[in-house]
């Protein structure tokens, strides 16, 4: 997948949010850590649609993780609206990515250059770059 030079990559799961930047070329990304924003996951209305009977019985729906995804999206929304982020790729596990999509602001949607539904927060930056290049 093409990742523009200087584009930002948000790598998110239910507990962690890393903001990376591509210092390499579009088809040969090289990522550097920009920051790990501190979030206040207080949007517990996130995930209400995931509150089915099976999820409640098995504990498969973790509202804290869904609230974290919503908080990460709110952070990205604010940064894109402010003009701090122009090109953004989101890499997140499928459940987190689904929750994030529900909270995208129009400005963030316009700034998106791609999404990858894969859990990558525990991986080294080189492996994340490789996954992006191969997607």
pLDDT digits (tens, 9 = 90+) for 80-134: 999 999 999 999 999 999 999 999 999 999 999 999 999 999 999 999 999 999 9
Give tens-digit pLDDT for 36-61.
Answer: 998 876 655 544 444 444 444 545 55
> Residue ranges per domain, the chain?
8-134
Q: In what order do the strands lie in the sheet with 88-92?
A: 31-35, 17-22, 8-12, 88-92, 112-117
Taking CA atoms, 25 is separated from 20, 35, 49, 113, 116, in Å, by 14, 21, 39, 14, 18
pLDDT of residue 51: 45
Other beta carbons within 10 Å of 67: 21
The highest-level CATH class for domain 8-134 is alpha beta
pTM for the full model?
0.86
């Amino acid at each position: 997948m093409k990742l523009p030079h200087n584009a930002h990559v948000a790598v998110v799961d239910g507990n962690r949010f890393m903001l990376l930047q591509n210092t390499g070329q579009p088809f040969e990304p090289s990522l550097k850590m920009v920051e790990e924003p501190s979030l206040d996951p207080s949007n517990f209305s996130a995930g209400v649609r995931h509150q089915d009977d099976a999820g409640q019985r098995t504990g498969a729906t973790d509202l804290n993780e869904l609230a974290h995804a919503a908080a990460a999206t709110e952070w990205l929304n604010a940064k894109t609206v402010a003009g701090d982020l122009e090109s953004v790729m989101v890499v997140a596990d499928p459940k987190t990515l689904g929750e994030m999509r529900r909270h995208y602001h129009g400005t963030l949607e316009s700034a998106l250059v791609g999404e990858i539904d894969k859990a990558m927060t525990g991986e080294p930056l080189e492996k994340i770059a490789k996954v992006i290049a191969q997607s």
